[in-house]
Structure 1
Amino acid sequence: MASNKLKIFNDPIYGFITIPNAFIFDLIEHKYFQRLRRITQMGLSYLVYPGAHHTRFHHAIGCMHLMQKAINVLRFKGVTISEEEETALYVAILLHDIGHGPFSHAMEHSIVNGISHESISLMFMEKLNSEFNGSLTLAIKIFKGEYKRPFLCQLISSQLDMDRADYLKRDSFYTGVAEGNINSERLITMLNVSDDNLVVEEKGIYSVEKFLVARRFMYWQVYLHKTGLVAEQLLTRVLKRAKELCDSGEQLLASPALQFFLENEVSSSNFDNQTLETFSKLDDIDIISAMKDWQHHEDFVLSNLCEMIVNRNLLKIKLKNKPIKKKVLLEHLNRLIEKYAISSYEAEYFVFEDSISNQAYHSKMQAIKILQKSGKVVDIEKASDQFNIKALSKPVTKYYFCYPKI
């Protein structure tokens, strides 16, 4: 019977969240979706903000809840959304992050080549579609941005989608960084549709401004926090080194799923259903338990990198407004080579530079449109009397370099 499938989640942010129908319940119950309980939403950010242990499962359920609110608001304003479209929106928003690997982005830059989490999400959806007899077909169309009614795609992916509306509020709650706490309820209440495109009513303009400012703040303060950057760089390097050692015939202790990705060259060209099945068995726990073991490995690079993350004894990091001078890097490299008698190649695992960029609003991408009382639709940049919307759409780049504390 379907009635026992209409369960309720108690969410610390929105209170009670209801599951809209039995099909959505079955998707949430699926092992692919349950895996998201074992993947943290913010990677290694808990090394900076101890409360940031919430998972992608949390986030996906929150997005679904906001989607329910958005659909109710739009229908109330006379926008027709069929039942089929409604369910497709729930499916698409629930599964939008299902392709994330352990600790989110570290996998994409180390042991899986040239395949993004979005592509893997799509593969999971296709696989579930065949399991659920084609019930996800419309959701996939919307997820890919190919559906004939653009506003449905924009609710899933745009500069004011349900994904952002949830993660900003949720991440600010779990990190304790109050400045990111946007009023997602009010933002959603101000949504409307004009010419089949998503717009915000004029009286919601200040909520949009606050949303963009909060987004910029959360990027500098949380997502691009320098300690979080170091931790993610170290994790990427751990996986890269582990793969190198496996390639040279070294036997490393790891779970079967992790072993597969370390021993095989995995790229978009050979990422098939079998690979997907193995990928679905990978989560944060595989990586953490491997690092706990590898910190005692005889390889200087691997053991030190793992020890740094496990015991939060990270590299030092300096942020600059200009590119880092090669001379500075060389000094740190040579110091390390001399002290530990290692090669320059090995030393480069601990001394390196990179850059980060923050752009809260992309005016060139799908712009956020404001619906004026006259019925005219204008870009937020034009509608806003706040000069800093223009400033928010300029990318700001910072440069950083990392080196050991010696």
Structure 2
Amino acid sequence: MQQEEPEAGAQPLTAAQTTPESPWPLRVLSEKLKAHIERAPEAWIEGQLLEANIRNGHAYLTMRDVDVEYSLPVNIWASVMRTLDARPEVGARVVAKVRPSFYLKTGRLSLNATDMRPVGLGDLLARLERLRRALFDEGLFDPALKQPLPVLPGCIGLITGRDSDAQKDVIKNATLRWPAVRFEVRNTAVQGVNAVAEVMAALRELDARPDIDVIIIARGGGALEDLLPFSSEELVRAVAAAKTPVVSAIGHEADRPILDDVADLRASTPTDAAKRVVPDLAEEQDRIVQARERLARAVSHFVTRETQNLASLRGRPVLLYPETMIQARREDVSRYLDRSLAAMRSALVRGTDAIAHLRAQVRALSPQQTLDRGYAVIQLDDGTVVRDAGQAPVGTGIGLRVARGRLRATVTDTEPATEGSTQP
């Protein structure tokens, strides 16, 4: 919907209608800001008290966020002060029920508190436990997500306080164990409102470098309130998303921060972190010596065993007198040859006898043998063999084949065979 233009000389109704020729008086903007701000509902907020000035029963406070450098003035009027269980003190961590207020004369934004309660240790622990359970249910603590640490890191990223004992312990113990190790140190705040932002910035920088093999976040213990930055959800998620393995070395056994649960490795102290991140040179050299000795023993044992096996094989008769095997095979061949020759001779003799027998049978059945016994074969002139006297009537010329030679004759008489007679 298009806004209506103000009439000439009339005051603009909205900020968008103001112009250099038709501006708002400052009081109009202040009044509109006050009306807009004070329409906001009451809210519970948490922070730390930086200033606490109490005059005439009223408290004028400055409350700062626990994680970032944001602060606002908070006023507690005397009527509310009389209902509070504890007097506000500088450094206290509190929760307050506030409503925004805008002071027209100075244009100052402040918060008017209607209730304020100190945050006790039990409240902090309960809050951290709720966050821990929520992150656990989300799967951020799953062991499958933990990255293995490199066996021998070339360069270690170290995030810790400036000139802190934690920094000295990590560098000293790591160097003693492996003198060639290198460090990229990033000094940050490790407590207070700037700790989370600075540690996250250092983590992002080191995680982006390909030469950094592992990152250690170290602090030498402290009170629970001082370690709260290491339970910040923002920092915990940043560590979980890091591509480089992260070691948590906060050094606080009781009520340990959530960072310990999401880190790829939790070290009990900065010194423990140094010992677990790099190997001990002396131990590795001892292991190399032991490995070489075991290898030498294994090789010697292998050579000895194989030498004994060779000696055992060479002592066997088949290797001492290898010609024995050849001689046995030679005798087998000779025996088989003799048997083959004998079988062949026997077969030849039997075959010769069979041929002679068959030859005798053939000869005994041959016509010549019959002729040799005195018989003759009578044939007509056309060669027909005469088997019946009727074939050669009287006067017929016949030929007689005897054992040796042939005879010519003429039939002068015939005599037919009588019935039942077998004689010619």
Answer yes or no: same fold by TM over 0.5.
no
Could you say which TM-score interval applies, normalised by the shorter chain? under 0.3
Q: Point out the structure with the larger strand share.
A: 2
Q: Point out the structure with the larger helix share.
A: 1
